[in-house]
Amino acid sequence: MKGVLYVFLLVGVVFFTSCEPEPVPVIMEGMAAIYADVKDYSAIASGPAREIGELGKIVNVGNTLYINELYQGIHVIDNSDPVDPIFTHFLTILGNTDFTIQGTTLYADNGVDLIVIDISDIENIDVVDVIEDQYSGIEDPFQYRPPNYRGVFDCVNLDEGFVVGWELRTLTNPACFAN
């Protein structure tokens, strides 16, 4: 809170000491949210294995491991030989942090809804049902501030979409501060 005040003060100082009639914008490095339209279910798809980001929840079915990458989707790993596991696919489900599997049906969240996905053909997964607004989404601090970060950031505007990541950017008049 104090941080936010400092930013406002800084803006104020720049404003009042300026000879220009217009306020001079404060430009500085800080974090900004990456938004996604998680309700675009057509974006849910199976693709080739890819590099892992920050991992989340894990599920094992038979010799296959499924592991969430926070807010991005699910890595599929053939673990028939635990000494030499092989990444086979990545299922893109933006906003995803929770999931489970029954038979060939994947139940996964997108931060807001519970999505039912037929994964019997892992190359061509298919959204077969959506239970809308299973989650409020608002309890997740990730939606409000960058995790493990101290400094200024662009305040989140949830009207722009669901926050699926944070990145360092050059910000104009950032009004939020994490300490």
Partner 1 sequence: MRSLIYFFLILFTFSCTQDSSFLISGNSSGTLSGSYATMLPIDGFLYVINETDIFTYDIADTESPILVDEQNVGFEIESMYHHEGVLFVGSSEALHIFVIQENGIPLRKSETVYNFDNLEEWGSCDPVVADDTYAYVTLRSSTQEGFGCNAVFRVVNELRIYNIENLQEPELLTIRQMDFPKGLAITGDYLFVCEGNLGVKLFDVSDRMDPIEIWSDEGFETFDIILKDGLMMVVGPDAIRQYDYTDINNIEYLTAIEF
Length of the chain: 179
Q: Which is nearer to partner 1, 37 or 118 (CB)?
A: 118
Q: Which is nearer to partner 1, 30 or 97 (CB)?
A: 97
Sign, CA torsion 7/13/15/16: positive
Contact status: 44 vs partner 1 (CB under 8 A) = no
Of 3, 26, 28, 98, which lies in the binding site for partner 1, with binding defined by CB under 8 A?
A: 98
Kindly list the distances between the CA atom of residue 52 and the CA atoms of 46, 67, 78, 128, 165, in Å, as whole numbers in the listed order: 15, 10, 15, 27, 14
Determine if 178 is a binding residue for partner 1 (CB under 8 A).
no
Instruction: List the alpha helices (DSSP H) in the chain.
Output: 2-17
The binder of partner 1 chosen from 61, 122, 175, 178 (CB under 8 A): 61
DSSP H or E stretch at residue 16? helix 2-17
Query: How does DSSP classify residue 111?
Result: S
Q: Does 99 bind partner 1 (CB under 8 A)?
A: yes
Under the rule (CB under 8 A), what is the footprint of partner 1?
49-52, 54-55, 57-62, 65, 67, 77, 79, 82-85, 87, 98-105, 107, 114, 116, 118, 128-129, 131, 134-136, 139
